[in-house]
Amino acid sequence: MSMQSIEPQISRLSRAEKAELLQRLAQEVGNTWAGIEKTEGVSGGTACIVRTRIPVWTLENYRRLGWTEAALLENFPSLRAVDLVNAWAYADAHSEEMDKAINANQGA
């Protein structure tokens, strides 16, 4: 894929979609994710929600199983709505990482 091939698609995006794309690109290039951290020795060093030991892959697994955000917030009282926004952005950008973590932890 080249810049020439994606420029027409970018031009068709709304301003809000362009802002979201810019945010995702900045996060990917900077490899920093708001509200997400990897800490050696915490949950195996996987991406977790800040202030918690809740791995992003865990939340993503529940999302794939059909849990609503309301159910997640109810069952994980330390989570805030913004934590889920950050988790989904990270999970969407790192789907292969999520797949591997979920598969590795199934039945564990």
Domain 34-108 matching CATH 1.10.10.10: the answer reads yes
Interatomic CA distance for residues 22 and 89, integer angstroms? 13
φ/ψ (deg, to 5) at 55: -70, 145
pLDDT of residue 26: 75
Specify the DSSP element, H or E, that contains 84: helix 81-93
pLDDT of residue 106: 85
Helix axes 56-64 and 95-105, enclosed angle (nearest 10):
90
Specify the DSSP element, H or E, that contains 15: helix 15-30
Q: pLDDT per residue over 41-95, tens digit each? A: 888 899 999 999 999 999 999 999 999 999 999 999 999 999 999 999 999 989 9
Domains in the chain: boundaries: 1-32, 34-108
Confidence of residue 24 (pLDDT cuts 50, 70, 90): confident
Question: pTM score > 0.95 for this model?
Answer: no
What are the tokens at 101? 């973590």
